[in-house]
Amino acid sequence: MEIDGGCLCGHITYQAQIDPETVAVCHCTDCQTLSGSAFRTFVPVLEGSFELTGAAPRTYTKTAENGNRRVLAFCPECGTHIYSAPEQPGQGYTGLRSATARQRDRLPPKAQYWCQSAQPWAMNLAALEQVAKE
């Protein structure tokens, strides 16, 4: 599936080819901290299937709990997180933040990872009061 998207302010834009069956939720503590929420949604993008079409992001390299070094890319203007990628090309996938895609309504998660770190309340959001708009 072809998707496109970008950051909140429009400074960074992208196009990508993804498999919507691979969209997932990550409950690791890094994703919780970076998102300011209980989890983050992402979709793995194979090398060569992702292209920045706007400005270049700012990056920060983080060593994850599992020892992998990942480059985290975000907008230098509005701070929107766009993706994470392996430090060296060819060492894994780009984790595109699926909520930044214009087609996010068609990208429901199919799996959850790092559930040992999940906030207990985040595993049953359907039980919470739902307000349509505020």
Question: Could you report the per-residue pLDDT of 55-80, keeping only the tens digit for each?
Answer: 999 999 999 777 888 999 999 999 99
pLDDT at 92 over 90: no
Give the H or E element holding residue 41.
Answer: strand 40-45
pLDDT attached to residue 33: 92
Residue type, position 77, single letter: E
Q: How far apart are CA 121 and CA 77, in angstroms?
A: 32
Q: How far apart are CA 84 and CA 93, in angstroms?
A: 8
- Which is more confidently placed, 9 or 47? 9
Residue type, position 107, single letter: L
Tokens of 70: 């990942």
Average pLDDT rounded to a whole number, residues 22-36: 93
Q: What is the pTM of this model?
A: 0.88
Q: 62: exposed, middle or buried (C-beta count within 10 Å: 0-12, 13-18, 19+)?
A: middle
Q: How far apart are CA 57 and CA 10, in angstroms?
A: 12
Least confident of 77-81, 96-100, 120-124: 120-124
Q: How far apart are CA 120 and CA 102, in angstroms?
A: 29
pLDDT band at 126 (very low <50, low <70, confident <90, very high): confident
